[in-house]
Amino acid sequence: MKTTDTLSPVQQIIAAHRRGEATGLYSVCCSHPSVLRAAMRVAADYDTALLVEATSNQVDQFGGYTGMTPSAFRDYVHNLARGQGFPLERLVLGGDHLGPNAWQGLDAATAMQHAETLIAAYAAAGFHKIHLDCSMRCADDPQLLSDETIAARSARLCAVAEKAAAQAGLPPPVYVIGTEVPIPGGEANLAQAGAVTSPKAAARTLDVHRLAFFAMALHSAWRRVIAMVVQPGVDFDHSQIQHYDAAQASALSAFVAGQPGLVFEAHSTDYQRESALHDMVRDHFAILKVGPAATFALREALQALSRIEEELVPTGQASRLMQVLDETMLAQPKHWAKHYPGSSAEQRLLRRYGLSDRCRYYWGEPAVVAAVDQLCTKLDALAIPLSLLSQHLPEQYLEVLQGRLGTKADALLEHKIGRVLAQYARACNRNAAAAALNTLNAPTDVAAAAGSAAAIC
């Protein structure tokens, strides 16, 4: 692909937002195929671009916890899009928390060498939106990193990304900077959540990064810095949610309004009310990131299907999915043990129901994959009574009743996830949201829908 001066889809959306249009960009930070397929359906329904992001611990040059390198993740997402008929030109790949995050236990020189290899792999694979995150300290760093050190390291990685994209013949990336970065996946305790970023701190972050970029002759790249990560006052831990308060963020919103071409990127927006998502986009937190809330909905749907299976399938033939999941988590506690305090009973509840959704790390484990496959295969071979759908998946039951949704397991899963992601699509494209709502409320052939529902029973 030849490089071009044409604005990318991400840049077009940010430019439209800065012109006063009620638009933004939502970022789906997940690798699960059901979540990504649901996201593609939502993006198609609401006529939005789809930004899919991989994090630095999820996908890296060594495979990350998904086992995928950046190029493998790109191919994986592209193949899902082709299978869905989702146009690749509306799909944007992003890299989140790209820096020394995965190598904080090493000395800074070694960690940054790994980070350079990481970011080169992302840029060469066509990841267009790059979050430069060097906010974490390495083993031989002082306890508190200075803004100047963070900015200098970020600029160093930016130079690597610029070179890698150019050598691959790809358009240059767009960048997100920021030093007040929430913990990926939510806080261990909401008491640790940061206060709303002050305009003074935001201005300093912007200034030191600009100087660091200019010191490395990255003037062109600086013009492609589209967003800055700040703390807008939203976060969550395993059991609580910190909701957006527009009044508390008003000074911060006013600050970015005076910065041409720039918006804020809001992390940890999971579980916010939909009205808050609309308010955040209005207040220039125009990039909304969501991850655990989507896999939380996935877990809810799979648990509901498991309950239906228990009613329809003899005990010895059932998948035991939720038991298999918990057994796997107990056998491999590294992804949850340090996050979930309390007694064994309290930890059991958190493993299953915690808002931080640490079970999202286990859906790719062979035993869990086999149990999910068995569950879906069993249910797809049966006629699920509407009464069971009403009991365990009431929102999906209503859609089936209206003839808008089938009862195959994948369809039910993706619809459940899509209801979460659709809130973000509506917040980021209000015109399309109104059109979709009108379509949803259009008269339906009730007789045909009733006949279809009767056939299911």
Backbone torsion region of residue 261, taken as left when φ is above 0, otherwise alpha when ψ lies between -120 and 50, otherwise beta: left
Q: Which CATH number fits domain 295-423+446-456: 3.40.50.1980, 1.20.1070.10, 3.40.50.620, 1.10.400.20?
A: 1.10.400.20
Fold (topology level) of 9-293: TIM Barrel (3.20.20)
Task: Give start-end residues of each CATH 3.20.20.70 domain in the chain.
Answer: 9-293
Q: Residues near 21 by Cβ (< 8 Å), separated by ≥ 6?
A: none
d(CA 387, CA 118): 50
Q: Are 171 and 8 in contact (CB under 8 A)?
A: yes
Outline where 19-107 has alpha helix (H).
33-46, 70-84
d(CA 386, CA 393): 10
Q: Are 296 and 413 in contact (CB under 8 A)?
A: no
Neighbours of 251 (CB within 10 A): 14
From first to last of its 457 residues, what are the pLDDT tens digits of the chain? 334 458 899 999 999 999 999 999 999 999 999 999 999 999 999 999 999 999 999 999 999 999 999 999 999 999 999 999 999 999 999 999 999 999 999 999 999 999 999 999 999 999 999 999 999 999 999 999 999 999 999 999 999 999 999 999 999 999 999 977 655 544 455 665 668 999 999 999 999 999 999 999 999 999 999 999 999 999 999 999 999 999 999 999 999 999 999 999 999 999 999 999 999 999 999 999 999 999 999 999 999 999 999 999 998 999 999 999 999 999 999 999 999 999 999 999 999 999 999 999 999 999 999 999 999 999 999 999 999 999 999 999 999 999 999 999 999 999 999 999 999 999 999 775 454 444 444 433 333 333 333 332 2
φ and ψ of 175, to 5 deg: -125, 150
Task: Give start-end residues of each CATH 1.10.400.20 domain in the chain.
Answer: 295-423+446-456
